[in-house]
A and B are shown apart, each in its own frame.
Chain A
Amino acid sequence: MDTLTPAAGMRVRNLWRRSIFFVIGIFFLVPILAMAEFSTRGNDDTRTLESWKAIPSAPNLMESIFTSVQLAVIVMAGVVFVLVPTMIWVHLQLPHLKRALEAICLLPLTIPAIVLVVGIAPIYRSMYGVFGSSPLTLGFVYLVLVLPYSHRAISAALESVDVNTIAEASRTLGASSIRMIAGIVVPNIKVGIMSGAVISIALVLGEFTVSNLLNFETMQVVINLLGKRDGAISVAVSLAALIFAFVLISFLPTSNKVGNEVAEKEASTG
């Protein structure tokens, strides 16, 4: 490599990057294309959209999709209105608790879903009296499940700006605590909040183990049941869900943008 000119080195690196991108692209695309192929397979090598058309009439499917979407909204609201204010508060007022909060939020990652369910089942039994047996009560456990991912996204955003200084600056300029958080802190960690929210939506839409073990009919549970009866429909729904998640994630403001701004700032202050 050291005999190459810089331009040639760049070309080699680009080629290398493209190959990696290509290989990974294949790795992800093949199963998706296979799903599309399988879900549109008709008799005698024909193409048909029968399975896709059958989605609305499949038993329990539409209800379960609606449940999952509601759950996604509940969890997202939990992230935005519980986790975000908590994290901002800890960051500004109780920085010594930052590590503890991080440890707690990462915990769900280290506990296997089955263990979590065994622990949570008795709590759910006692909750029936208060919240009933609606599948929406899954929102509680899902909010716990998304903590590691949302926490990561939000905490990265909080660390990327000098939140303490801008918060204090806004205080001295006359902002109340609420105005300070809503008008100054939140706009500057918006990217992290959105990532955290969208990641939780994707996670909730794809969750199977916990809801299945707790006997709630969410989208993935129904897809699984359906798959046992009619593979093509279940694959069609899975693919639709996957595409929905991709669309959601494509709305994510990339963390790259923040990185660029920081880099620009560093370059300009030299």
Chain B
Amino acid sequence: MTNESITQSPSDGFAVRLVALQKSFGSVRALDSLSIDIADGEMVALLGPSGCGKTTALRALAGLQQIESGQIIVHGNDVTNQSANKRQMGMVFQSYSLFPHMSAQDNVEYGLKLRSRRLPKTERSKKAGEFLELVGLASHAEHFPHQLSGGQQQRIALARALAISPRVLLLDEPLSALDAKVRSQLRDEIRRIQIELGTTTLFVTHDQEEALSIADRVGVMREGSLQQLAKPEELYYRPETAYVAEFVGLTNAIPGEVQAGKVSILNQQIDTLPGSITSGNGLALVRTESLHVIPNTSGESKVLVFSFLGSNCRVQVQLPNGSTVIAQVSNELVSSLSPGSLVDVKVASNAVFVK
């Protein structure tokens, strides 16, 4: 917090800079030289399987987790050694974290009471009321946590975190305890509120649909380090590593030979993405929706099973060489197919990652 540390660590316009964070739990590397920059007002999602270090990174930023080395800079200030209660981070936890002995209103007021002691009580309760309004629960101000549903509790927790005008909003899998419908509703609402207030946000989740749909940029983490941090479309269509290609979306691994930047699979030549192997035999990682299934009575591939997903269908197809692939197809197409139908399988022309 000294001027010295500010000059040593220029913010370069970023609201949050995590610089080479390092943390181990026993022999497990939770953070392995992790660096992330988050722009002002941006929402970044950290995505990865459990144990990849995403929650540790978020907790380190909150000040709830000590790190071994590295630097945490928020709006140009080095907060690495600052305690959690001084950092002014609004956090929403995975488990219900409302104070059970306080009403919704008191929960939201709690942070205001601590942060801005000079604020008169009427101002404070008015401000808390506004945030309850923002999350659509103004009518539940007098309810206690045990009288609220899980979704409502998380909304109040969000209001409580936002009420202190946090420098960064930290969301630690806030939706994972909720059922599917409430989850997608609240997800959209979080995004709406985040854009409305322009709060810089770090969102941690293991649900890729959640990450891709809500964030400005998504970072895929693995074993404590960042694999790729990019816009959702870029992450999806232009993965930089095999891990990202396989982790995000549903992927088929189809063997093929690489030559001169192209891979030959299913009798087609497809461009390879940067980072792929440059020659020899490899596995092309092809998305299920990039495989086109064309009914053809003299086709060489055979339909094995369907699974109906609502808006579309997934089909398992046996290729001429005996291996199977999964393709995502429209419901109309499926109606003309049955298990055992002969088909042709084509690959869409977008570039693929080959490992």
CB neighbours (8 Å) of B97 from chain A are: 162, 165-166, 168-169
CB neighbours (8 Å) of B161 from chain A are: 172-173
Residue A18 CB within 8 A of the other chain:
no
User: Which of A176, A180, A268, A269 counts the most B-chain CB atoms under 10 A from its CB?
Assistant: A269
A174 touches B164 (CB 8 A): yes
A162 touches B110 (CB 8 A): no
B145 to A, closest residue via Cβ: A265
Whether A169 touches B148, Cβ cut-off 8 Å, given contacts A174-B115, A187-B101, is no
In the bound complex, CA of A176 to CA of B101 (Å)? 19
Which of B64, B86, B95, B160 sits near A162, CB closer than 8 Å?
B95
Q: Shortest distance in angstroms between B137's beta carbon and chain A's nearest beta carbon?
A: 15
CB neighbours (8 Å) of A187 from chain B are: 101
Q: How many residues of B contact A (CB 8 A)?
A: 36
B170 to A, closest residue via Cβ: A172
Residue B91 CB within 8 A of the other chain:
yes
Give the interface SS of chain A, mostly helix, strand, loop or mixed: helix
Which of B84, B90, B98, B150 sits near A171, CB closer than 8 Å?
B84
Residue B100 CB within 8 A of the other chain:
yes
A160 to B, closest residue via Cβ: B100
CB neighbours (8 Å) of B53 from chain A are: none
A268 touches B114 (CB 8 A): no
User: Which of A169, A175, A176 counts the most B-chain CB atoms under 10 A from its CB?
Assistant: A169
B100 touches A174 (CB 8 A): no
A166 touches B100 (CB 8 A): yes
Whether A269 touches B99, Cβ cut-off 8 Å, given contacts A168-B84, A175-B85, A176-B85, is no
Q: Shortest distance in angstroms between A69's beta carbon and chain B's nearest beta carbon?
A: 31
Q: Restricting to B31-84, which residues have a CB under 8 Å from any CB of A?
A: 62-64, 83-84
A263 to B, closest residue via Cβ: B146
A174 touches B146 (CB 8 A): no
Which of B64, B86, B101, B115 sits near A168, CB closer than 8 Å?
B64
A sample of 5 more A-B contacts (CB under 8 A), given A172-B84, A173-B115, A188-B100, is: A170-B99, A172-B63, A264-B146, A265-B146, A268-B146
Identify the B interface with A (CB < 8 A).
Answer: 62-64, 83-91, 93, 95-101, 110-111, 114-115, 145-150, 153, 157, 160-161, 164, 170
5 CB-based A-B contacts, threshold 8 Å: A169-B97, A169-B160, A171-B63, A176-B85, A265-B146
